[in-house]
Structure 1
Amino acid sequence: MVLQKALCIIIGYVFGLFQTGFIIGKMHNIDIRDYGSGNSGTTNTMRTLGKKYGFITYFGDALKAVFAIILTSFMFGKVCSDSMMVIALYTGLGVVLGHNFPFYMNFKGGKGIAASSGVIFAISFFDWKFVIMGFLTFFIALYLTKYVSFSSLCMMTGFFIEMIVWGQLGMVHNLHSNDKIEAYILVFIMTALSFIRHKENIKRLLNGTERKIGHKKEESNG
């Protein structure tokens, strides 16, 4: 199954190279990375070009993870029928890597939250609990704090904790017992990447200068 896992990462990375915000920026004759936070993700696109294009960017970046996982599930469904959750996670990690570090943009992409949320949505095809908890975690945190960055990190942290807790309890569908540790590591890497890419946001959260949703001042989560 090593070959299938490697192919999942490669296929995911190729899908991740579709940079919705960057493409929308080019359609407006700008490089979105020259504005705001310097990222090509959802929040920076929204703050630079408006809510309409921010939402288009989010759905474009989330859906590329969904489509990539659908493709690898179709490709390897018969060969890896007992390990479809881990196949989806390998693909999802590839998408996040492609989104965060696109080679043709000098490895300067987005922060991976929209792509990661697409991964969470896609694995709900195997286990619906993750998308429900991800949705609740993000929007409850956003309602209480008004910080998109903090809410995004809460969602990813919750995803990691849920995978471990439900995995250990045997409550994750399509996750073979032999794949549990591997699944935990893959989700940990995605979560760690989200924290690494949000390091400037974390600094601003700690010193109280992070921009809340709805504020006009130019800042970032991207």
Structure 2
Amino acid sequence: MILYGYLGTAVAAIIGYLIGSFSWSIFISKTIYKIDVRDYHSKNAGATNTSRILGKKWGFAIMFLDMFKVTITMFIAFSISCVNINGVNFGSTSYYIPTFFVLIGHSYPIYFKFKGGKIVSSFLGFLWITNPYYFLIATVVWWSTIFIWKRVSVSSILAALLTGALCWIPQLSGIDVINFNGELLQDYHIVWVNYLHYVNYDNYYDSLALINIIVTLSAWFLIIKHHKNITSLFKKTEKPYDFKAKSDLATGNISTNNKNKQ
């Protein structure tokens, strides 16, 4: 049973990576506007850079689409765990390990020469699917600090850092002891995806400790992906985000017929 769970987790992780590798910002910018968002500004395929180039509406759209990639992967893992063929049961497939591979795919997309985004949106999607408390912490910290320092990188790093640290508080995570057999997860219903386990498998493969380890790894991954921004912050060359500024497309700095890089 557990062996098939490992196999199901591996298959779901590969699918998660392939889903994460699909970049909505690159697809939309190339398909609709015939440009590549990675050619401009921070040369990043994330929602923030997209908003600077194509506009804030597209930036928000990209953010939600990138978040949704995690949700899709989670339910694919659930679907795999429901497979039962001739006594071969994949019920112990992890729902959370594959979602981490969405972040890897988003950052290093196989379809786009491994040049992707900084996983902020995908990280938020992972937190929402994992524990709403974590999602709330990250969201409040991000929006609070963006209005203070007006640096997206600062907001993203602080949100990840605090989430990765605070998730180990028992009142938030439900962890009283470090336990990997899933018993705590079974009794902690704040982790809403937990309910999917009731459908097909009583002996939970996932555990709160495993989930928190993945949250912490994801937070550090996000921070590492912002290493250039951290350098720029120390050099005081990091550009602030102007919520009132018009996009390059709106100002005419970039057009479908003009690919001069800004």
Q: What TM-score do you get using the length of structure 1 for normalisation?
A: 0.82
Which one of the candidate residues 98, 101, 125 is aligned to 1:118? 125
1:61 equivalenced with 2:66 (yes/no) = yes
Relative to structure 1, the CA distance from residue 74 to residue 159 in structure 2 (aligned partners, 3 Å threshold; closer, same or farther) is farther
Work out which of the two has the higher radius of gyration on C-alpha atoms and give 1 or 2.
2
1:48 equivalenced with 2:49 (yes/no) = no
| Residues 24 and 53 in structure 1, CA contact (< 8 A), matched pair in contact too | no
- 1:156-204 CA-to-partner distances (Å, cap 9, x unmatched) read 1222123322344368636879845533432232122212211111112
Q: What is the CA–CA distance in structure 1 between the aligned matches of 2:102 and 2:133, rounded to whole Å?
A: 22
1:105 maps to 112
Q: Given residue 55 of structure 2, which amino acid in structure 1 is its aligned partner?
A: G
Q: Given residue 78 of structure 2, which amino acid in structure 1 is its aligned partner?
A: S
1:196 maps to 224
Relative to structure 1, the CA distance from residue 188 to residue 128 in structure 2 (aligned partners, 3 Å threshold; closer, same or farther) is closer
How far off its partner does 1:34 sit? 1.0
1:62-141 matches, cutoff 5 A? 62-76=67-81, 79-80=91-92, 87-123=94-130, 127-141=131-145
Q: How high is the sequence identity, in percent, across the aligned residues?
A: 27
How far off its partner does 1:91 sit? 2.1
How far off its partner does 1:217 sit? 11
Q: What is the CA–CA distance in structure 1 between the aligned matches of 2:95 and 2:146, rounded to whole Å?
A: 27
**RMSD, aligned α-carbons:** 2.7
Partner-residue secondary structure (3-state), 1:196 = helix
Q: Given residue 50 of structure 1, which amino acid in structure 2 is its aligned partner?
A: G
| Residues 151 and 239 in structure 2, CA contact (< 8 A), matched pair in contact too | yes
Query: Which protein is richer in helix relative to its size?
Result: 1
Aligned pair count reads 210
2:258 maps to none
How far off its partner does 1:2 sit? 2.0
1:21 equivalenced with 2:25 (yes/no) = yes
Partner-residue secondary structure (3-state), 1:37 = coil
Which one of the candidate residues 153, 174, 187 is aligned to 2:215? 187
How far off its partner does 1:152 sit? 0.9
2:148 maps to 144
Which one of the candidate residues 30, 33, 56 is aligned to 2:35? 30
How far off its partner does 1:145 sit? 2.0
Q: What is the CA–CA distance in structure 2 between the aligned matches of 1:210 and 1:152, rounded to whole Å?
A: 14
Q: What TM-score do you get using the length of structure 2 for normalisation?
A: 0.71
1:210 maps to 238
Partner-residue secondary structure (3-state), 2:219 = helix
Q: What is the CA–CA distance in structure 1 between the aligned matches of 2:239 and 2:57, rounded to whole Å?
A: 20
Q: What is the CA–CA distance in structure 1 between the aligned matches of 2:15 and 2:205, rounded to whole Å?
A: 25
Partner-residue secondary structure (3-state), 1:47 = helix
Q: Which runs of 5+ in 1 are unaligned?
A: none
Which one of the candidate residues 7, 10, 17 is aligned to 1:6? 10
Partner-residue secondary structure (3-state), 1:164 = coil
Q: What is the CA–CA distance in structure 1 between the aligned matches of 2:210 and 2:128, rounded to whole Å?
A: 20
Relative to structure 1, the CA distance from residue 169 to residue 146 in structure 2 (aligned partners, 3 Å threshold; closer, same or farther) is farther
Q: What is the CA–CA distance in structure 1 between the aligned matches of 2:28 and 2:19, rounded to whole Å?
A: 17
Relative to structure 1, the CA distance from residue 139 to residue 31 in structure 2 (aligned partners, 3 Å threshold; closer, same or farther) is same
Q: What is the CA–CA distance in structure 2 between the aligned matches of 1:147 and 1:58, rounded to whole Å?
A: 17
